[in-house]
Chains A and B, each alone.
Chain A
């Protein structure tokens, strides 16, 4: 075999020069001029003639395979690494044969940047490629156009990327604190942009029609008489400045009759339609954007191997973040990796123990788990009851004269539900974190359980608040109760219930922002300052704060869910939320860089990209429930809002449809009939079943291909060994 030309730089035997990279210095290089040990070339270049005489080695045979073309061929005009100077003339001849072979192997013109060649080689390739292109003339116009179109697409994508704000900040955060923290800020930026879009659409669809269609009626005074009581939102007499400030915080007084809340908008037909449609349009947009984001995160996670099969190899080879700089961060990352590996080994031990548990031990473990779950349910139940009671008590307490006289006490009573919710969200997650290790699950399962419980707590507490409000508005669902008989809702306590709901959401938003800022200023900064001065281990333990990504992300999702629920009743809420998120971004960034050290346990970015958009979708789904219920089932207030006098908010739509031309009406009515819905349902089910079957078959194909790859690798090694054996046998038979 004509193999003395090839480079036997893959050696079969164990390296005879085990390299201690720390000890090899440039000085040592000069002592062995013919040996370039660090090169991806021939560690034993001078061994080549000897081996060629003995016949090809296994490594040289494997080197000849087509799949090793990249390793052989380093590019036009570049010597393969490790080739010494004496071989240059041979090298050139070799290069040319290899160049031809390689050109054939590159079936399609690969862009220069994707070739694993050094810079010099890539420049040569690009020049020759450009020359070829020019030589071909216009080539074919179609391919030229396709090329131009592709370049245009790439340029626009790059342009859009640079348009995204804070790109550099996110990169810096990712470099210093890890990809998990970066995913939090990326989610914050995404939600901020969504809120901007939503506020623009809301402004166009509710504010503009309001102001363009004539003068606005003032607030109803106390002299209007109607069977549904009276509604007088404007403040009486002279209002002091502190009261104004408190009104700003609680959404009453001058804010109650303002574009901020539902009650302000006059009962005009067009406004009613656009008001209702804006909600649906914005909901649809949110859904599309979040789906788009979660799908791109899902693609990566689905393609990735299931964690159980590759956890160690992935941890060892992808754990190190090459972008980290600074001694502190490097040390922390190393501690992190150490922790993760130890946890993995521990988990393996736990799993082994679990596998050998006797029946008695299993029973004990399961009884402990059931007890702990009951405890969690009891805690959650107590929390929810507290929130329910607080919301009910607020209305009663607001009636008492002592409360009405002291504005601060009134503010406290107003904020009672928000205080309860924030308190519960603050106190219960640490309890969950304490309970989780007692259940005997592996660490990753524990984290999953803690997250699930916290998510449930946050979203369900909001639902409980809304349920309590619904109770008040509809007298517990009993339409025959004496307070709700005349008007369908509790008109005595809540003459304009939509505004009241909007006010609650407004208060939740404000309180969330205030607690965030307060925690930062009053807890995190002093902790960092004071405990940084504390001596010894205590100071270090108490003083280092970590940016807890899951907690922060869940807080973000909760805030966004509040806005989703409230934006029907408080149209300017997305605008307020935009301002809040903007402030939050800068506050959190400042806190991160000045008080936090990178988390010692990372939250993997891939999990974050998949899990958090899912929870966001859940929040969107949950927020749709109260809004849709209010639109369809609760009678609108008779004294305020664009839907005054209708039997339900949705009733506006059929009325306006009847004003449209007949064909459009027929079409829209057809959409609502069974003749349309049933075939649609059938077709959707068929499509879903088809997609599931496709996914199933792809999964099976992937595992089949994996098995084939393994078999082929074994075949390859086997054949190479046979080739070596045959040629050495032939060589032995040759006369010396």
Chain B
């Protein structure tokens, strides 16, 4: 993987993943937040996404990945971005907003119209499939 480079650009990683969240992953795990990862960041990423990582750690990083604007909350706009990426833009705008509304209804514990880290963690830690999907097999 690379020729003794110490910095991996996110374009290089793109070649390895068709993951729609690849840019977010690169941004979240990179040290300076702009998508350039050193080897340590790379190891961090695989360590969090491995099957040995504990649940809360994964939940913490999942929250960061889904928070597109890095404001510390998953707001409606973040949710819309997520749903659009998940469905490749094939859901109608009305359906997307309906889904986002339902997600906020279900998960927003303090009723402030967006998901804080606590809301997200409470919700995700009860999901039975979370561990198996937030997992890169290497």
Q: Please report A residues at the B interface, Cβ cutoff 8 Å.
A: 9-11, 14-15, 17-19, 21-22, 26, 29, 36-41, 43, 59, 67-68, 70-71, 81-82, 113-114, 116, 118-120, 171-172, 174-175, 179, 300-301, 303-305, 309-314, 316-327, 330-331, 334-335, 337-338, 341-342, 345, 604-606, 709-710, 713-714, 716-717
Binary A-proximity of B101-121 (CB < 8 A = 1, otherwise 0):
011001101111000111110
A-B contacts, 8 listed (Cβ < 8 Å): A9-B72, A15-B70, A19-B69, A36-B33, A38-B28, A118-B31, A172-B137, A330-B20
Q: How far does the Cβ of B16 sit from chain A's closest Cβ, in whole Å?
A: 7
Contacts of A713 in B (CB 8 A): 109-110, 116, 118-119
Given A345-B99, A717-B110, the answer on whether A322 and B127 have CB atoms closer than 8 Å is no
- Asked if B32 and A114 sit within 8 Å, CB to CB, the answer is no
Q: Which of B32, B66, B112, B129 contacts A717 (CB 8 A)?
A: B112
- Asked if B47 and A113 sit within 8 Å, CB to CB, the answer is yes
- Asked if A317 and B21 sit within 8 Å, CB to CB, the answer is no
The residue of chain A having its C-beta at the shortest distance from the C-beta of B48 within the complex is A116
Contacts of B112 in A (CB 8 A): 717
Given A29-B34, A38-B27, the answer on whether A312 and B99 have CB atoms closer than 8 Å is yes
Which interface residue of B23, B28, B118 has the most chain A CB atoms within 10 A? B118
Contacts of B32 in A (CB 8 A): 36, 39
Binary A-proximity of B78-91 (CB < 8 A = 1, otherwise 0):
01001100111011
Q: A11-B72, A318-B134 are in contact. List 10 more A-B contacts (CB 8 A).
A: A9-B72, A15-B71, A38-B28, A38-B70, A309-B106, A317-B66, A327-B18, A341-B95, A604-B129, A710-B110
A717 to B24, CA, bound (A): 29
Which interface residue of B47, B64, B70, B132 has the most chain A CB atoms within 10 A? B70
Given A40-B64, A171-B137, A345-B95, the answer on whether A709 and B33 have CB atoms closer than 8 Å is no
Q: Which 5 A-B pairs have the closest CB atoms?
A: A39-B33, A606-B128, A119-B40, A713-B110, A38-B33
Contacts of A716 in B (CB 8 A): 110
- Asked if A323 and B135 sit within 8 Å, CB to CB, the answer is yes
Q: Which of B44, B47, B87, B102 contacts A312 (CB 8 A)?
A: B102
Contacts of A316 in B (CB 8 A): 79, 82-83, 86, 99, 103
- Asked if A314 and B69 sit within 8 Å, CB to CB, the answer is no
Binary A-proximity of B30-72 (CB < 8 A = 1, otherwise 0):
1111111000110110010100111011001110101011111
- Asked if A709 and B122 sit within 8 Å, CB to CB, the answer is yes
Which interface residue of B57, B86, B111 has the most chain A CB atoms within 10 A? B86
Contacts of A310 in B (CB 8 A): 106-107, 123, 126-127
A244 to B96, CA, bound (A): 67
A474 to B113, CA, bound (A): 72
Contacts of A317 in B (CB 8 A): 62, 66, 82, 120, 123-124, 127, 130
A304 to B116, CA, bound (A): 20
The residue of chain B having its C-beta at the shortest distance from the C-beta of A333 within the complex is B86
The residue of chain B having its C-beta at the shortest distance from the C-beta of A300 within the complex is B128
B5 at the interface (CB under 8 A from A): no
Which interface residue of B21, B40, B47, B49 has the most chain A CB atoms within 10 A? B40
Contacts of A82 in B (CB 8 A): 33
B136 at the interface (CB under 8 A from A): yes
A36 to B127, CA, bound (A): 33
Q: How far does the Cβ of A31 sit from chain B's closest Cβ, in whole Å?
A: 13
Contacts of A81 in B (CB 8 A): 31, 33
A337 to B90, CA, bound (A): 11
A366 to B124, CA, bound (A): 38
B93 at the interface (CB under 8 A from A): no
A119 to B39, CA, bound (A): 9
A68 to B63, CA, bound (A): 14
Contacts of A321 in B (CB 8 A): 132-133, 135
- Asked if A304 and B126 sit within 8 Å, CB to CB, the answer is yes
The residue of chain A having its C-beta at the shortest distance from the C-beta of B112 within the complex is A717
- Asked if A338 and B87 sit within 8 Å, CB to CB, the answer is yes
Given A14-B75, A171-B137, A316-B99, the answer on whether A67 and B118 have CB atoms closer than 8 Å is yes
Contacts of A179 in B (CB 8 A): 129, 132-133
A418 to B92, CA, bound (A): 51
Q: How far does the Cβ of B55 sit from chain A's closest Cβ, in whole Å?
A: 10
A18 to B68, CA, bound (A): 9
- Asked if A38 and B34 sit within 8 Å, CB to CB, the answer is yes
- Asked if A41 and B71 sit within 8 Å, CB to CB, the answer is no
Contacts of A330 in B (CB 8 A): 18-20
A330 to B132, CA, bound (A): 16
Given A314-B127, A317-B124, A320-B21, the answer on whether A113 and B52 have CB atoms closer than 8 Å is yes
A82 to B70, CA, bound (A): 11
Q: Which of B23, B107, B110, B130 contacts A714 (CB 8 A)?
A: B110
A693 to B102, CA, bound (A): 34
The residue of chain B having its C-beta at the shortest distance from the C-beta of A19 within the complex is B69
Q: How far does the Cβ of B109 sit from chain A's closest Cβ, in whole Å?
A: 5
The residue of chain A having its C-beta at the shortest distance from the C-beta of B69 within the complex is A15
B17 at the interface (CB under 8 A from A): yes
Q: How far does the Cβ of B105 sit from chain A's closest Cβ, in whole Å?
A: 8
Q: How far does the Cβ of B113 sit from chain A's closest Cβ, in whole Å?
A: 10
Contacts of B60 in A (CB 8 A): 70, 116
- Asked if B35 and A38 sit within 8 Å, CB to CB, the answer is yes
The residue of chain B having its C-beta at the shortest distance from the C-beta of A330 within the complex is B18
A67 to B53, CA, bound (A): 20
The residue of chain B having its C-beta at the shortest distance from the C-beta of A716 within the complex is B110
Given A118-B40, A325-B18, A341-B95, the answer on whether A320 and B33 have CB atoms closer than 8 Å is no
A41 to B27, CA, bound (A): 12
Contacts of A301 in B (CB 8 A): 128
- Asked if A322 and B133 sit within 8 Å, CB to CB, the answer is yes
Q: How far does the Cβ of B25 sit from chain A's closest Cβ, in whole Å?
A: 8
The residue of chain B having its C-beta at the shortest distance from the C-beta of A604 within the complex is B129
- Asked if B87 and A322 sit within 8 Å, CB to CB, the answer is no
A38 to B120, CA, bound (A): 20
Contacts of B87 in A (CB 8 A): 334, 337-338, 341
The residue of chain B having its C-beta at the shortest distance from the C-beta of A297 within the complex is B128
Contacts of A71 in B (CB 8 A): 72, 117
Contacts of A15 in B (CB 8 A): 69-71, 77
A39 to B95, CA, bound (A): 31
Q: How far does the Cβ of B121 sit from chain A's closest Cβ, in whole Å?
A: 10
A345 to B33, CA, bound (A): 36
Q: How far does the Cβ of B123 sit from chain A's closest Cβ, in whole Å?
A: 5
Q: Which of B17, B34, B53, B134 contacts A325 (CB 8 A)?
A: B17
A11 to B19, CA, bound (A): 29
- Asked if A18 and B77 sit within 8 Å, CB to CB, the answer is yes
Q: How far does the Cβ of B39 sit from chain A's closest Cβ, in whole Å?
A: 8
Given A38-B34, A300-B128, the answer on whether A313 and B107 have CB atoms closer than 8 Å is yes
